[in-house]
Structure 1
Amino acid sequence: MLKFAVTSAPPRVLKATAIPTLAFCESSDVGHHVALVIASLIRENNSAGMPTVLGLPTGSTPTGVYRSLIQLHQNEGLDFSRVITFNLDEYWPMSPDSIHSYHRFMRETFFDHINIPSENIHIPQGDLPAHAIAKSCEDYEREIERVGGIDLMLLGLGRNGHIGFNEPGCDRNSRTRLVTLDPLTRQDAAGDFFGEENVPMQAITMGISTILSARKIIVMALGEHKARTVRQTVEDEVTRHVPASFLQTHRNAIMA
């Protein structure tokens, strides 16, 4: 049976925040904790014969969650056969087989290691021609609605406060769409693309309204370099200039 590392202290709950916030001693403990929350939801729904619909991010922040969920699948039989996933975003234009593609990232980091049916996996298509993007985004929204909505949305937190690729200045009522990436976002991605000049200018992302429609939201922020953005998200006023601050309006969101 898998045994998670024991934290030196349980997470502290920061009370004077607009979003309930858990503070961990070690960043590795965050992934373990979030994975256990997700696993509990999957098991509960499996027992009831119901699907579990997850919204999933990419990048370095959620890799600890995915690693722990894989271990739970391999060592404790956590069953993903009823799980349905919708990824937050994908660069455009981007081939799904590119080393920079979020399709490839999710396969190699998570999906190839669990028993999730391929037809249950949904990721925005980055290889569509421009004229087909709007309809594809509408179809993405309809599919989320068709399966009953997202049970749990997992988010990372961008240095500029973006969630998904909803950049500063975005609309609270936005849905899945093509967006232009903020210069800071492209700078932060430069290392993955061997230079900022190689980072795509645009991406397809779920909108703020799409994200807020999830029944539960967990947003993760790892590292001291995110401290200012965390404060803006959970303590400061709600503003389109810090898209993550819109999470303050959700009744079941937490920061970890």
Structure 2
Amino acid sequence: MQVKCFDQPAELDLYAAQLFASALKEKPESTLGLATGSTPIGIYEKMIEMYENGDLSFKYATTFNLDEYVGLSPDHEQSYARFMNRHLFDHVDLPAGKAHLPKGMVSDLEAECANYDRMLQEQPVDIQLLGLGHNGHIGFNEPDEELQGGTHIVELEHATREANARFFSSIDDVPTQAITMGVGSILKAESILLVVKGADKAEIVKQALQGPITTECPASLLQTHKNVTVLVDREAGRLL
């Protein structure tokens, strides 16, 4: 595991974007695992700048997102499909139909989970972007006595819904369920990029990277992967 600490968030975002650009230059048909939330927004902004400058192309790429809320349509203001369009897809040359997210509005959620796993098996992820939740979740894999390996439906913890409530009118509007890639699916990626920002994440960063490997801190399972790069700002990494 390689850990890099940055004084400026913009430097971190640029470094992360350059890792994706390098992957696409080496293998233009790469499969990219993408994430949502506040953490990757700056990274996506750098990717868009690189695309506009002719330094990055998604023309032959495929993307898979980690998760989606259950019950939100793709055009809902707070759906992750809408987030990805707003912050990346609408601004680059990723072909229509090459961006994949779990579908949270289907009638058979279990079948959707199985279908997502089939697609991931057919097109394994080359580089997976992750953020880190305050409770150690990656994707929407919440702490538990045991974790599911494949894509599955998860009941969102109150703390997770509370953290995401800032994007909704109130916590009552935050969905209670999501579809997420499982930890097993995440760990199948050829390489993993974990990005963490902010002083409020320092404790969980230390626990995830240096604490015991336990399902009670899902991110700690990243310690078992052969190729993980961790990018933290100075505040998030202050306890390492």
What residue in structure 2 maps to residue 155 of structure 1? 130
Q: CA deviation at 1:234?
A: 0.6
What residue in structure 2 maps to residue 91 of structure 1? 69
Max Rg structure? 1
In the TM superposition, what are the counterparts of 1:175-194 in structure 2 within 5 Å?
A: 175-194=150-169
Structure 2: stretches of 5+ with no match in the other structure: 232-240
What residue in structure 2 maps to residue 144 of structure 1? 120
- 2:12 is matched by which residue type in structure 1? V
SS at match of 1:194: coil
1:105-161 residue CA offsets vs partner (Å, 9 max, x unmatched)? 0001100000001111100101112xx1111111111111112x0000000001111
Q: CA deviation at 1:77?
A: 4.3
Question: What is the TM-score when the length of structure 1 is the normalising length?
Answer: 0.88
What residue in structure 2 maps to residue 12 of structure 1? none
Q: CA deviation at 1:26?
A: 1.2
Distance 1:58 1:170 in 2: 26
What residue in structure 2 maps to residue 135 of structure 1? 111
What residue in structure 1 maps to residue 180 of structure 2? 205
Matched, 1:66 2:18: no
Distance 1:23 1:135 in 2: 41
Distance 1:172 1:40 in 2: 32
SS at match of 1:76: coil
Structure 1: stretches of 5+ with no match in the other structure: 1-18
SS at match of 1:239: coil
SS at match of 1:118: coil
What residue in structure 2 maps to residue 55 of structure 1? 33
What residue in structure 1 maps to residue 234 of structure 2? none
- 1:31 is matched by which residue type in structure 2? D
Distance 2:145 2:168 in 1: 25
What residue in structure 2 maps to residue 248 of structure 1? 223
1:41-85 residue CA offsets vs partner (Å, 9 max, x unmatched)? 101113xxxx11011000110011111111111112422111100
SS at match of 2:213: coil
Q: CA deviation at 1:250?
A: 0.3
Q: Which runs of at least 4 in structure 1 moved beyond 6 Å after TM superposition? A: none
* Distance 1:170-1:180 versus aligned 2 partners, 3 A rule: farther
SS at match of 1:38: helix
Asked if the contact 1:218–1:253 (Cα under 8 Å) also holds between the matched residues in 2, the reply is: yes
- 1:145 is matched by which residue type in structure 2? Q
What residue in structure 1 maps to residue 85 of structure 2? 107
Asked if the contact 1:157–1:163 (Cα under 8 Å) also holds between the matched residues in 2, the reply is: yes
What residue in structure 1 maps to residue 237 of structure 2? none
SS at match of 2:76: coil
Matched, 1:219 2:219: no
| Paired residue total | 231
Question: What is the TM-score when the length of structure 2 is the normalising length?
Answer: 0.94
